[in-house]
Structure 1
Amino acid sequence: MPYPFISAVIPAKDEAMNLPKLLDEVVASLTGLCHFEIVVVDDGSSDNTYSTCEDWGKSHSDILLTIVKHQRSVGQSTALLSAVNQAQGKWIVTMDGDGQNDPADIPALLEAAAQQQQSHFCIAGFRHNRQDTEWKRFQSRFANAIRQAVLKDGVKDTGCGLKLIPRETYLALPYFDHMHRFLPALIRRLGGEVAVVQVNHRGRWGGTSKYNALNRAWVGLVDMMGVVWLSRRARNPLIEKISQSGANE
């Protein structure tokens, strides 16, 4: 296999109607390309998200599937961290559970990741053909323009859930609620590289979005200032030499 072991991680809340098809697509995109697993985190769903994934796993016993259920909803960033903590892969591929991210784009992310020279990096998806309302697209363009002016992380579309990050890199990031919106900037803070890959975007298959203009705008502004604070105080030493002597008995 040309790529290391991959963990596809999916945070989900009330996505029972979307997950079976999405899981099928993940399998189709990675089979024959790499060894992989899927980790789904049910973030306190009120529907049968967990049992739906269990049923899917029973009918796909050849696929390594881990399902984590939160007792109550704690948000997407915490759900992602739960998934990464359970994951075994060298590289993590994140995606939303609503079907809007297309798993067929994962091979392009893997190809871009294989070209990276840095140990810390992020391959970020850029949705070139947004299947959202004009109002939602306007909100996204406005928010991304402000974020880019402040953070200068080199990513036009930080809201795209489809990203590839080494597991070691993800676990080295400072954790806070809503951190998933700032992954490229946080990885640059580590001295890592960020590459952007154009990806497909689809309309939500079913269910309703968990976000609106108000909760995105206010929380995003507060968190962005926090990321600026973290970035300005980052220190990444360049180690010139390391020597050891003696032997352990």
Structure 2
Amino acid sequence: MKTVDRYRKGFTLIEIIVVIAIIGILASISVVGYSTWRVRAAETSIKNDLNSVKAAMETSRNRDNGYPTVLPDTVKASSGVTLTYISGDANSYCVEGVSTVNAAIKFTLKSATGEIKSGACLSDALQFVQENVVVNSDRFNADWANYTGAISYEIEWRINGGSWTGATALPSTYQKTGATSGQVYDIRIRANLNDGSQSAWSEIVTVTIPEPAITLAGVCSMGGSEQ
């Protein structure tokens, strides 16, 4: 005949709590480990894609004597990655790679250094507006606000829509002398940054050099009367 031990008991409340706590800890470790793995996988995909961008951009430059201003057609982003051409010209570029799962996972590729780094491209152009230019009959004076990370600046101008020319390694102000009255100057500025790259060009400011003002002394020298 089977007997039942009336003194036999199940798990105590404390034992159940301990087991639940252990399961929770193990689950947390698994979640953290999985999250870390996903972040690393996303970072690896972005970096691999940006290395592909770098190779494609160099191929285009060697073929066309300059970088393209869009991503080459041969560049294909991996699943879960978005590649964006942020700024550049025939001589430089900056491209961002971002995870579509976690937008905080972002890397950039800058042609100036050729390195892939965490963060975003500095896409904002240096702020430079009409009020920052003072024009006289034979010159113009330009100044601009400091740009974050700048170690020097470049200013360029073109006359009556011609070719760009300019000066480099400037502080935050510049005076162009020898201007001719009646000429139209387009002026733009950009910053040279401490990581070896450059900001985008500012908006173009257009000014016209005025005719010299006619003074009383000038009128008299031409035979005019002071009366």
TM-score, reference length from structure 1: 0.21
Greater RCO (CA < 8 Å, at least 6 residues apart): 1
More helix by share: 1
For the pair shown, the structure with the greater C-alpha radius of gyration is 2
Greater fraction strand: 2
